[in-house]
């Protein structure tokens, strides 16, 4: 083929949160990153998916070396060393299956979590708008989203849907048993934060919301009947909370060791639980060194996830069959893509031909669509014997 599908990157299975946050790409820098990669690499088409659990580069390229060079270029942009031990590289049908599984939530830490669909769409639409995708990646993503829809409708994987936000709240419940008499501060009113707020509301906790954009915090608080704390007042009131759950898109620490240390003195060292589901992390890791401070990050949620999602294993297996089916369909389309110029020329050839001639050509087209290996035989039967004619009809040995 003229090109193939590749998936390269790192995720929660291959790399720690420390490495993932170093290579993560936030919305504000995505435009410039895509422009740089488009201008400085030999990859034909590509998109970049960056979430709290993965940084993955999906592409259509002539060969593997171009893909590796492109990802090394991305690591350079992020001022990081390209270490093969933490990355995966998949090609061909394996890559297609992986991408479809990601879009369907079957490769997520929380199997079937719904956020990945929106994140995948957003990454695709952004790449498409900036012109880094084309016919192949556009078709790949459309088929991936179709496969995702099939998985959700044809299996029970989305029933009682859970997410990283759910796992974070479940962890808080494990710690306290009940959250009814505890004050919880939620920092971040984005999608993950809103989901966490909804789960917290169901638990009966006394919820306070803070966000850098005050109006957004107010809107979410009104939605779930919670209280609001201004972002610049977090340090002042932190000592009042038993649980602090942070989920923002900030690039630095929102909660520092110094801030927590001051709060602990005011709490008389009553235990406080900090849960950071942000990537990059928003709570300074050294906070865990303080007495009576218990800090959990997104990787610590794995145990909670595994225990709560054991009943989804069978549904996930059903989803795997759907993914294989959809991946086969896409890959057959991709393999036949180079036949298009041949078919177009053959159809043009029959415009002024007889009905019998057209029937023969249509049968020939059907034959090569089913198996492109028949193309030379079809040429021979149609009297196309010279290399010049093969080139004229769009068939060139690769």
The residues that are catalytic are 52
First to last CA, the chain: 7
> Which residue from 147, 139, 194 is spatially nearest to 168, judged by alpha carbons?
194
Residue 207: CB atoms within 10 Å: 24
Q: 313-336 vs 92-104: helix axis angle to the nearest 10?
A: 130
- Diameter of the chain by CA atoms? 94
> Which residue from 234, 112, 221, 219 is spatially nearest to 167, judged by alpha carbons?
112
Helix (H, G, I), strand (E, B) or coil at 98: helix
Residue 356: CB atoms within 10 Å: 8
CA triplet 105, 273, 160: central angle to 5 degrees? 30
* Cα–Cα distance for residue pair 189/208, rounded to 1 Å: 11
**In Å, how far are 92, 227, 361, 363, 376 from 373, measured between CA atoms?**
19, 67, 16, 15, 7
């Amino acid at each position: 083929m003229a090109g193939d599908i590749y998936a390269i990157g790192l995720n929660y299975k291959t790399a720690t949160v420390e490495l993932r946050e170093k290579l993560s790409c936030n919305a504000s820098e995505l435009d410039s990153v895509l422009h740089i990669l488009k201008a400085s690499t030999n990859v034909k088409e590509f998109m970049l998916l960056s979430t709290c659990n993965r940084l993955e580069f999906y592409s259509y390229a002539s060969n593997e070396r171009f893909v590796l060079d492109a990802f090394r270029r991305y690591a350079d942009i992020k001022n990081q060393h390209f270490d093969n031990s933490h990355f995966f590289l998949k090609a061909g049908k394996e890559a297609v299956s992986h991408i479809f599984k990601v879009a369907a939530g079957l490769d997520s830490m929380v199997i079937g979590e719904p956020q990945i669909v929106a994140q995948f769409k957003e990454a695709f639409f952004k790449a498409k708008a900036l012109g880094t995708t084309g016919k192949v990646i556009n078709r790949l993503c459309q088929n991936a989203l179709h496969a995702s829809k099939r998985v959700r409708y044809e299996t029970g994987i989305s029933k009682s849907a859970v997410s990283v936000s759910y796992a974070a709240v479940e962890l808080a419940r494990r710690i306290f048993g009940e959250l009814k008499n505890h004050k919880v501060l939620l920092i971040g009113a984005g999608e993950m934060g809103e989901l966490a707020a909804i789960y917290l509301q169901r638990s009966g906790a006394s919820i306070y919301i803070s966000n850098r954009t005050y109006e957004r915090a107010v809107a979410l608080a009104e939605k779930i009947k919670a209280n609001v704390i201004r972002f610049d007042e977090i340090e002042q009131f932190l000592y009042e909370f038993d649980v602090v759950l942070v989920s923002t898109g900030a690039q630095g620490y929102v909660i520092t060791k110094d801030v927590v240390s001051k709060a602990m003195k005011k709490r008389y060292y009553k235990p406080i639980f900090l849960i950071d589901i942000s990537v990059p992390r928003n709570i300074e890791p050294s906070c865990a060194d303080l007495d009576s401070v218990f800090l959990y990050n997104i990787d610590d949620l794995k145990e909670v996830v595994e225990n709560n999602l054991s009943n989804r294993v069978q549904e996930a297996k059903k989803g795997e069959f759907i993914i294989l089916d959809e991946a086969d369909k896409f890959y057959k389309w991709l393999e036949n893509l180079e036949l298009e110029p041949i078919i177009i020329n053959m159809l043009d050839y029959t415009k002024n031909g007889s009905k019998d001639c057209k029937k023969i050509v249509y049968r020939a087209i059907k034959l090569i669509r089913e198996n492109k290996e028949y193309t030379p035989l079809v040429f021979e039967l149609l009297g196309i014997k010279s290399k010049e004619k093969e080139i004229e009809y769009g068939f060139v040995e690769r």
